[in-house]
A and B are shown apart, each in its own frame.
Chain A
Amino acid sequence: MKSLKVLLFVMLAAAMILAACQPSQPAKPAEPSAPEQPAAEAPAEPAVDANAPVKGGTVIVGTPQEPGTLSPLLASGTIDDVISSFIVEGLVGIDAKGDYVPVLAESLPTISEDGLTLTYKIKPGLKFSNGDPVTCADVQFTKEAILSDLSGASTSGYSDIDSIECPDDLTVVVTLADVYAPYLRLFQYIVPRSAGDLATLDTWEYNRAPIGTGPWMVKEWVAGDHITLVPNPNYREEGKPYLDSVIVKILPSREVGMQLLGTGEITVLWDLTEADFPTIESMEGVDWAGAYYGSGENELLVFNFADPAVDAPADPAEAPHPILYDLRVRQAIQYAIDKQKIVDALLYGNVKVGSTVLPTGPFACPQAKSEYSVEKAKALLDEAGWTDSDGDGIRDKDGVKMSLKITSTTGNQLREQTEQVLAQMLKEVGIELVIDNVPSDVLFAGWDSNGLRKHGRFDILLYTTGPGTDPDSHLFSNYHSARIPTAENNGSGNNFSRYINEDVDKWIDDAAFNPNMDARREAYCKVAAQINKDLPRVFLYERLVISGYRTNLQNFQVSPGFADFTIDSQNWWLKP
C-alpha cells in the first residue's frame, strides 16, 4: 500500500512536470508603430475640463505570470522586465514608436568620430526613490554590477567598455575598447549605488523592491498573490503619478484573466494574443491596446536545410534535407501560402502580412510582399522533379514522399489553427504537412538539453522571433554561418536553418563594427533582401504585443520596448 502510494506520487510528480507545457510565446523587447492608439500626449493642463485628470484611485493589473525578481540585473522573463519598468528607468529608453529616446539623460549620447567615446549628460536635480541624487557614479556602478559574477544580465556592449569617467556628477564619458555599433541600447536601466554590495547581488532587498527613478515603488509583495506599487515621492514630474496605487495581481491563466477583466475585478490584463480579439471586442467597457513587436517580431516558418536524421551538421551541403534543401521547393511553399487569408481568417485582419525580417524601427527595410500563386508553386515543384507518381494526391520523387513535419508550441490555439490552414494550403499543391507540436520549453530548449532546434531535428518550425530595436545580434545569431549550432561550438547560435551565404555573413560583420547608422542600415537592408531570395525562413505575419484594459482607464498605451504597457503609467487616471 505504501509503496503503491509512493509510486503513484512519483508518477503524479512526473506527470505534472511533463505537463509543463506553457502556452506562451517567446516574447521579447522590440519596436514600433502603435496601430490603434494615438500616442497619448500628456493630459490636459489643469483646467475645468471633463478630460482633466482625476487624482486618486487604484488600478489592478492582471498578469498570468508572477515576476521572479524586479532587478534588471537578474530578470529572466519578460514579465520581470515589464513590472520592473514601473520603477526602474535608464539614461535612454524606447518610446511608443520604438525609437530610442533620452529618459534620465538630456539627450541621446554623442559619439566620437572613431566610435569609441560616448558622452551622456544626466538631467540635473534627479533623485532616486530613496532621495539619493542620480549621478555619474551610479552609471559606473551599473556597469560594474552588470559585469559582476552574480549578474544574470546581458553583457553585450558592456563587456566592450574600457572605462567610464566622471568629469562631473552629471557627465558620463564612456570609452569603448571596440566599436559597439548598437551603442544606443546601453544603459536602459540604472542601478543605484545604494542597491548593495556586488558580492551579495543575489540576495539584495533591491531585487524585490528596487530603488528607481520611475513613477512607482514597491510597497508590498505577497508572494504568489500580488504586488502593491505606490507613488515614488521623488518622481520628477510634479503631481504625478495621478493614481494612488497600482496593484499587480498574479492570475492563474489568461482565460481567467479575461473573465475578471469583463467583470471589472481587474483593470488591465497583460499579454493577450491576436486570438483574443473577438472576446475583447464582445465585452462591454473593455478595449485593447497594442504595438508591433520591436522591429518586426514575425510569426514565421523556419526551414531546415539539413537532413533531420543527421545530428547538427555544420554544412547542410554534406547532409542536405531530402526535400527542403532545394530552393525551388522553398519558393513553391511560399507561393502556396495565402498569407492574407491567414491574417483575415485567423487574426480578424488586425495585423500586417509578414514580408521582411526588418519591417519596422530605425532599421526598417520594407520588401515586396510574396505572391500567392498555386500555379507557380506547382510549376516549381514539377520542375524540381516532384510529381505525384502513385496518384495519392501527394507528390513524390525517387520513392520519397513529399511529406513534411511542422513543429510549434502546444497549447496555442492560434498556432494550431495556423498549422491546419497551412496544411490545407500545401495540400493544394501536393505537399503533405504533418503537425507535430511540443511544449514551448521543449521547442526552445538549449543544446545541452537536447533541444530539437539546436540539433536540427525538424523539417519546419513555426514560432515568433524578431530583431529587437537594433538588429545586430538577431541577424548575426539567426542568419550568420558562424552561428550554426554544432558540437564544435557547443550549440551556440540560432541559425537553425543552417543557412550559409557568404555575402550575408560579410554584410552582417561589416555592420557590426561600423558606428555609422546609414552604412549599417544599408548593409542590413541587403541582408533582408537576400533572405527573401534564399528563403531560410518565411515570414507569415507581424506579431503584436497586446494588453486589454477597461476603457475608464485613460492614457493607456503599449510600447514595443520592454516597458510594454507600463509606458506612460504616470499619466494614467480613472474616468469616474
Chain B
Amino acid sequence: MTQYLIRRLIQSVLTLFVISIILFGLISSVPGGIMSAYEENPDFSAEDIARIEAKYGLNDPVPVRYAKWVGNILKGDWGNSFVSKRPAIQEVKDRLPNTLILMGSMLVVTLLIAIPLGIISAIKQYSLFDHIATTIAFAGQSLPVFWFGLMLIIIFHVTLRRPDGTPLLPGSGMVTLGAPPSLGDRIEHLILPVSMLALVSAAGYMRYLRSSMLDVIHEDYVRTARAKGLRERMVLYRHALRNALIPLVTLVGLDLPSLFGGALFTETIFAWPGIGRLYFNAALKTDYPVVMAVLIIYSALILASNLLVDIFYAVLDPRIRYS
C-alpha cells in the first residue's frame, strides 16, 4: 500500500507537470493578450509598447517564459496579475471564501433535493411521481445555465415586486451595497444563484441515486431482509439506502474540487465575486499569471481528490487491493 501510494504521488506530480506545460502552451498561443489594450491608444508610442512588453517578459520565447514561471512557482511565487499588478495568489485568496460560501450552500441544497427525490423515484418506479421527477430532472440537466440564470433574474428580480415596489429578490452581488451587513441579506443574495446551480446539478445526482437504488433493491440481501419480516421502512433505509449511497459519495467526492473552482456561469451572471468569475475575467484579458494559478490549483485538487477516492475505496471495500 505504501509503495502504491508513493507511486501514485509521483504519478500525480508528473501529471500536474504535463498539465502545466499544456496549459501554458495553450494560453501563450492565444492571440491578442494584455498588450492589445495599448495598441489602439494614440497616447502610447511604439517605444512605450515595447517597453511595457519587456516589463511583463512577454517578448521572451514561450519556453523561456515557462521556465521562469515554473522556477518562481517552486519558490512559492505565482507571479503578479498583469491587470491588477497584485500577486496572483492574493487574487485567488480574496475570492476563495465567496466561492466556498456559494458552492457549499449549493452542495447542501442539491443533496437535500436529490436524495429524497432519488429515493422516492426508485421506490415508486414508473409511478406518476417518478415520471414527473424524471422529466424535471432531464429538463434541469438540459437547461442552458446561462439562459436559465437570466430568466431567474428577469422573473424574480425585474418582474416580481414586493409590496413596497422593490425587487422580490436581489439580482446580483453578495450583499446590498451601502446597507448594514446582516445574515438575512446574505441569504437573500444566495437564493437565486444557489437555486440555479442546485436545480441543474440536483437533476444529475437524483438520476444517479435512483438507478443505484434500483440496483440495490433487487439484491439478495434486501430480499433476505424482507423475508426476515423487517418493516419496509427499515429495509429501505437501513439496508438498501446505505449501500445505494456509496457510489453517490464517490461522485460527490470527485465533485469536491469544483467547490474551489466555483461556478463560472453562475458567478458571472449573478456578479458573484468568486473564483469562477475571476478566472473568466482573467481569461478574457489573457492575464496568464492569474489564469495559471487558478487552473493549476484546480488541477492539483482534482488529482488529489482522485487519489483520495481511490484510497478510500481500498479502505471501504476489502475486495479492492492495490499492489
A binding-site residues for B, Cβ under 8 Å? 2, 5-6, 9-10, 13-14, 16-20, 22, 26, 28-29, 58, 60, 65-66, 68-69, 74, 76-77, 149-150, 152-156, 159, 185, 202-203, 207-208, 222-226, 228, 245, 247, 249-253, 255-256, 259-260, 262-263, 265, 439-442, 444-446, 448-451, 465, 467-468, 473-474, 477, 489-490, 492-494
Contact of B43 among A17, A156, A490 (CB under 8 A): A156
A-B pairs with the 4 shortest C-beta distances? A441-B32, A224-B273, A492-B46, A68-B83
Q: What is the CB-to-nearest-CB distance from A31 to chain B, in angstroms, rounded to a whole number?
A: 12
Contact of B45 among A65, A154, A222, A448 (CB under 8 A): A154
Q: What is the CB-to-nearest-CB distance from A17 to chain B, in angstroms, rounded to a whole number?
A: 5
Known: A2-B306, A20-B30, A441-B32. A446 touches B49 (CB 8 A): yes
Q: What is the CB-to-nearest-CB distance from B54 to chain A, in angstroms, rounded to a whole number?
A: 10
Is B37 located at the chain interface by the 8 A CB criterion? yes
CA distance A474 to B39 in the complex (A): 11
Contact of B26 among A14, A250, A473 (CB under 8 A): A14
User: Are A256 and B42 in contact, with the CB atoms below 8 A?
Assistant: no
Q: Encode contact with A along B25-52: 1 for CB under 8 Å, 0 otherwise.
A: 0110011111111111111111111111
Known: A16-B279, A252-B268. A265 touches B172 (CB 8 A): yes
CA distance A155 to B45 in the complex (A): 8
Q: Which residues, 45 to 63 on B, are CB-close (under 8 Å) to A?
A: 45-53, 55, 58-59
- In the complex, the chain A residue whose C-beta lies closest to that of B59 is A448
Known: A10-B23, A13-B23, A154-B41. A441 touches B299 (CB 8 A): no
User: Are B299 and A9 in contact, with the CB atoms below 8 A?
Assistant: yes
CA distance A262 to B154 in the complex (A): 11
**Which of B42, B49, B254 has most chain A Cβ within 10 Å?**
B42
- In the complex, the chain A residue whose C-beta lies closest to that of B47 is A155
Chain A hits for B270, CB < 8 A = 252
CA distance A13 to B298 in the complex (A): 11
User: Are B271 and A69 in contact, with the CB atoms below 8 A?
Assistant: no
CA distance A65 to B277 in the complex (A): 11
- In the complex, the chain A residue whose C-beta lies closest to that of B170 is A265
Known: A74-B85, A265-B172. A259 touches B154 (CB 8 A): yes
CA distance A480 to B172 in the complex (A): 48
User: Are B39 and A446 in contact, with the CB atoms below 8 A?
Assistant: yes
CA distance A226 to B273 in the complex (A): 9
Known: A20-B283, A256-B171. A155 touches B48 (CB 8 A): yes
User: Are A260 and B38 in contact, with the CB atoms below 8 A?
Assistant: no
User: Are B42 and A468 in contact, with the CB atoms below 8 A?
Assistant: yes
CA distance A17 to B23 in the complex (A): 10
User: Are B41 and A223 in contact, with the CB atoms below 8 A?
Assistant: no
Chain A hits for B34, CB < 8 A = 76
User: Are B39 and A444 in contact, with the CB atoms below 8 A?
Assistant: yes
Contact of A5 among B44, B48, B279, B302 (CB under 8 A): B302
User: Are A9 and B273 in contact, with the CB atoms below 8 A?
Assistant: no
CA distance A155 to B49 in the complex (A): 10
User: Are A152 and B84 in contact, with the CB atoms below 8 A?
Assistant: no
User: Are B302 and A222 in contact, with the CB atoms below 8 A?
Assistant: no
- In the complex, the chain A residue whose C-beta lies closest to that of B44 is A154
Which of the 9-residue segments B66-74, B173-181, B228-236 touches chain A?
B173-181
Known: A247-B178, A259-B157, A444-B39. A69 touches B291 (CB 8 A): no
CA distance A62 to B39 in the complex (A): 26
User: Are A249 and B173 in contact, with the CB atoms below 8 A?
Assistant: yes
Is B111 located at the chain interface by the 8 A CB criterion? no
Is B281 located at the chain interface by the 8 A CB criterion? yes
**Which of A224, A442, A445, A489 has most chain B Cβ within 10 Å?**
A224
Q: What is the CB-to-nearest-CB distance from B198 to chain A, in angstroms, rounded to a whole number?
A: 20
User: Are A474 and B42 in contact, with the CB atoms below 8 A?
Assistant: yes
Q: What are 15 contact pairs spanning A and B, CB under 8 A?
A: A9-B302, A13-B26, A222-B273, A223-B91, A225-B174, A249-B271, A255-B150, A260-B172, A262-B158, A441-B30, A444-B40, A445-B33, A446-B39, A449-B35, A493-B46
Q: What is the CB-to-nearest-CB distance from B310 to chain A, in angstroms, rounded to a whole number?
A: 9
Is B293 located at the chain interface by the 8 A CB criterion? no
CA distance A251 to B148 in the complex (A): 18
B binding-site residues for A, Cβ under 8 Å? 15, 19, 22-23, 26-27, 30-53, 55, 58-59, 80-86, 91, 94-95, 98, 150, 153-154, 157-158, 167, 170-174, 177-178, 254, 264, 268-271, 273-274, 277-281, 283-284, 286, 291, 295, 298-299, 302-303, 306
CA distance A77 to B284 in the complex (A): 13
Contact of A468 among B43, B58, B95, B153 (CB under 8 A): B43
- In the complex, the chain B residue whose C-beta lies closest to that of A66 is B281
Q: What is the CB-to-nearest-CB distance from A205 to chain B, in angstroms, rounded to a whole number?
A: 11
User: Are B158 and A259 in contact, with the CB atoms below 8 A?
Assistant: yes
Chain B hits for A446, CB < 8 A = 33, 35-36, 39, 49, 53
Chain B hits for A250, CB < 8 A = 271, 273
- In the complex, the chain A residue whose C-beta lies closest to that of B52 is A152
User: Are B278 and A154 in contact, with the CB atoms below 8 A?
Assistant: no
User: Are B36 and A444 in contact, with the CB atoms below 8 A?
Assistant: yes
Chain B hits for A245, CB < 8 A = 178
Q: What is the CB-to-nearest-CB distance from A454 to chain B, in angstroms, rounded to a whole number?
A: 8
**Which of B23, B36, B44, B270 has most chain A Cβ within 10 Å?**
B36
CA distance A19 to B283 in the complex (A): 9
Chain B hits for A203, CB < 8 A = 85-86
- In the complex, the chain A residue whose C-beta lies closest to that of B38 is A76
CA distance A223 to B83 in the complex (A): 12
- In the complex, the chain B residue whose C-beta lies closest to that of A491 is B46
Q: What is the CB-to-nearest-CB distance from A159 to chain B, in angstroms, rounded to a whole number?
A: 8
Contact of A207 among B85, B268, B298 (CB under 8 A): B85
User: Are B15 and A152 in contact, with the CB atoms below 8 A?
Assistant: no
Contact of B173 among A14, A225, A467, A490 (CB under 8 A): A225
- In the complex, the chain B residue whose C-beta lies closest to that of A202 is B85
CA distance A19 to B281 in the complex (A): 11
Q: What is the CB-to-nearest-CB distance from B147 to chain A, in angstroms, rounded to a whole number?
A: 12
**Which of B85, B291, B306 has most chain A Cβ within 10 Å?**
B85
Chain A hits for B85, CB < 8 A = 68-69, 74, 202-203, 207
CA distance A314 to B323 in the complex (A): 67
Chain B hits for A440, CB < 8 A = 32, 36
User: Are B23 and A26 in contact, with the CB atoms below 8 A?
Assistant: no
User: Are B153 and A256 in contact, with the CB atoms below 8 A?
Assistant: yes
CA distance A66 to B45 in the complex (A): 25
User: Are A223 and B167 in contact, with the CB atoms below 8 A?
Assistant: no
Q: What is the CB-to-nearest-CB distance from A301 to chain B, in angstroms, rounded to a whole number?
A: 16
User: Are A223 and B271 in contact, with the CB atoms below 8 A?
Assistant: no
Q: What is the CB-to-nearest-CB distance from A372 to chain B, in angstroms, rounded to a whole number?
A: 29
User: Are B154 and A76 in contact, with the CB atoms below 8 A?
Assistant: no
User: Are B55 and A10 in contact, with the CB atoms below 8 A?
Assistant: no
CA distance A26 to B52 in the complex (A): 19
Contact of B177 among A77, A202, A208, A247 (CB under 8 A): A247
- In the complex, the chain A residue whose C-beta lies closest to that of B27 is A17
Known: A20-B284, A224-B95, A445-B31. A263 touches B167 (CB 8 A): yes
